[in-house]
Amino acid sequence: MSNLELWKSVEETAPGFTKTGDLDGRKVTSINGTYMVKRATEAFGPIGKDWGYEIEDEQFQPGAQIKHGGEVIGHAVMHTLKVRLWYMQDDKKCEVVHFGHTPYIRGTHYGAMTDFDAPKKSLTDAIKKCLSMIGFSADVFLGLYDDTNYVEAAKIRETVKNADDAEEEMTKARTEFSEWLKRETDTYAKVPNAAPLRLMYQGHLKKAERQCAVLGVDFQKVKVRIDAAYNEQMDKLIPPVDLVCHECGAESVGRPDTRCPDCGSAKRSPAEPGKDAQKKEGK
């Protein structure tokens, strides 16, 4: 068994079981706890038989002061659980340890507030963290859900997976992708400046790569189409000139923002005027 076999089988998260929210000014993606338990049951079997957990420690830890109306009225309290999660793999018992944290008492605009559901939330948090250590919903914990292109592709994957006729849904998704590709590349000819065109091009490549992976489409062939439309308009905005490569010294004709055809270096500058004429004259 490959070291990443389990990880790869459980790393993708269905977008319908995630939620985006703000935490201390940061955008975070949370995963439904019951969804992760279901995924673990799919991978290992019934909880309590083929996998499970044990609470090893529980603490209520004091935190910062809570102020209300300019006066200190108490201290925040954090509830913490230490959980040992176990699962059976190849007839062997494997274990993972992690922690779950939830504010038990915290300050609000109205004063101190007690969350009596804190122990349940800490347990869910700890189980999710344990499962993440062996690959469950790794795409969320790796930050891939911060990429809108990844989330969009994940939604397509889930729609096809849950469709009554997966083949028909896949055909529909590929058709929509093809229409999107033509529509977007056709707009290149209308872009009047190189900078926004370059941003559009880079964004389209990222989106196309994500969707091609889900749709089973050859990304390299799609990239050729995007490149052709991009280069055609770029050549109009920035006409090709004589260039010399900083790395290998090769001379060629092209745009300064393109790579050297000989060594692949992106460091090229316009050749000195009259240099070719001097060479022909033997100077």
- Give 9-59 pLDDT, tens digit per residue: 999 999 999 998 887 777 889 999 999 999 999 999 999 999 999 999 999
pLDDT value at residue 272: 74
| pLDDT, tens only, 227-280 | 999 999 999 999 889 999 999 999 998 888 888 989 999 888 888 765 544 444
Tell me how far the alpha carbon of residue 114 is from its chain's centroid.
35
Quick one: average pLDDT of 100-125?
95
Count of CA atoms in the C-beta half-sphere (13 A) of 130: 28
Tell me the three state secondary structure of residue 281: coil
**87-100: per-residue pLDDT in tens?**
999 899 999 999 99
* pLDDT for the residue 69: 85
**Cα angle: 99, vertex 104, 110; to 5 degrees:** 145
The SS3 of residue 67 is strand
- Predicted local distance difference test score (pLDDT) of residue 278: 45
CATH 3.30.390.80 fits 5-145, yes or no: yes
Structure tokens given for 14: 């269905």
Predicted pLDDT at 25: 75
Instruction: Calculate mean pLDDT across residues 74-97.
Output: 96
Report the pLDDT value the prediction gives residue 27, as an integer from 0 to 100. 84
What are the pLDDT digits (tens) for 191-228?
Answer: 999 999 999 999 999 999 999 999 999 999 999 999 99
Distances from the Cα of 192 to the Cα of 5, 139, 145, 170, 189, angstroms: 49, 38, 33, 36, 8
- The answer to whether 100 touches 121, Cβ cutoff 8 Å, is yes
Query: What local confidence, expressed as pLDDT, does residue 279 receive?
Result: 45
Quick one: DSSP state of residue 54? E
Residues of the chain with CATH 3.30.390.80: 5-145
DSSP conformational letter for 167 = H
Q: What is the value of pTM for the model shown?
A: 0.81
Mean pLDDT, rounded, for 70-81: 93
Non-local (6+) Cβ contacts of 236 within 8 A are: none
What pLDDT was estimated at residue 273? 66
Q: Is the pLDDT of residue 186 over 50?
A: yes
80 pLDDT band (50/70/90 cuts)? Answer: very high
pLDDT score for 224: 97
In this prediction, residue 132 carries a pLDDT of: 98
Q: What is the pLDDT of residue 1?
A: 61
pLDDT, tens digit (0-9, with 9 covering 90-100), for 125-152: 999 999 999 999 999 999 999 999 999 9
